[in-house]
């Protein structure tokens, strides 16, 4: 695999166009997690997803890594799939973490990846159908973007652990 600025632009376009598959997975994931944690989580729109894709790809260091993982997962296939279970899981987990950003969000995205992955069984488009990495790619995109996008109350409020904020001085 060779990654060039053109490759990164192509992968960005592909990830943006993937909104029709990824956004419903994000919203299903938020519904499931909301029920589990007894909270309401705002849904994500196609426009918000695409703006966030643009933000991820605007950072060149992040963009090249996201493009590399996306490209690998799009092409990854393993005879009989199961022997390749580890490589597509590792790539998916790392892609989700890279999209989400630094800690603690990257760790949260990795955990969310596994939660999403068990619900994404096959790819919705014919061009990727049949590859071992296709479902992991959709799960990673959904986990990473759902983690970094607003909509979780705990992310919207000021943290009580922020030293130097409020009246704790």
In 3D, which of 167, 158, 116, 165 has the Cα closest to residue 140? 116
- Provide the pLDDT confidence category of residue 153 given band limits of 50, 70 and 90: confident
Does residue 136 contact residue 117 with C-beta atoms inside 8 Å?
A: yes
| Per-residue CA distances from 162 to 30, 32, 132, 151 (Å) | 26, 29, 43, 20
163 inside domain:
no
Digit-coded pLDDT (tens) for 80-110? 766 667 888 999 999 999 999 999 999 999 9
Looking at the 3D structure of the chain, how many domains does it have? 1
pLDDT at 125: 40
97 inside domain:
yes
pLDDT at 84: 63
161 inside domain:
no
Domain encompassing residue 29:
5-151
Low-confidence winner among 53-57, 128-132, 138-142, 152-156 (lowest mean pLDDT): 128-132
3-state secondary structure of 1: coil
19 inside domain:
yes
pLDDT (average), residues 16-22: 97
In this predicted model, which residue has the larger pLDDT, 92 or 160?
A: 92
Length of the chain: 169
pLDDT score of 166 more than 50? yes
- Provide the pLDDT confidence category of residue 30 given band limits of 50, 70 and 90: very high
pLDDT (average), residues 46-55: 98
């Amino acid at each position: 695999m060779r990654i060039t600025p053109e490759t990164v632009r192509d992968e960005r376009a592909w990830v943006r166009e993937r909104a029709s598959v990824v956004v419903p997975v994000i919203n299903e994931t938020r519904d499931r997690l909301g029920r589990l944690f007894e909270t309401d989580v705002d849904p994500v729109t196609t426009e918000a997803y695409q703006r966030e894709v643009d933000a991820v790809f605007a950072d060149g260091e992040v963009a090249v890594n996201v493009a590399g993982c996306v490209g690998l997962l799009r092409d990854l296939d393993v005879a009989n799939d199961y022997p390749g279970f580890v490589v597509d899981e590792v790539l998916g987990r790392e892609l989700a973490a890279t999209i989400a950003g630094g800690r603690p969000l990257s760790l949260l995205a990795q955990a969310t990846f596994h939660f999403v992955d068990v619900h994404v069984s096959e790819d919705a488009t014919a061009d990727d159908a049949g590859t071992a990495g296709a479902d992991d790619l959709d799960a990673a995109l959904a986990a990473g973007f759902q983690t970094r996008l607003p909509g979780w109350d705990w992310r919207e409020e000021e943290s009580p652990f922020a030293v130097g904020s409020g009246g704790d001085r």
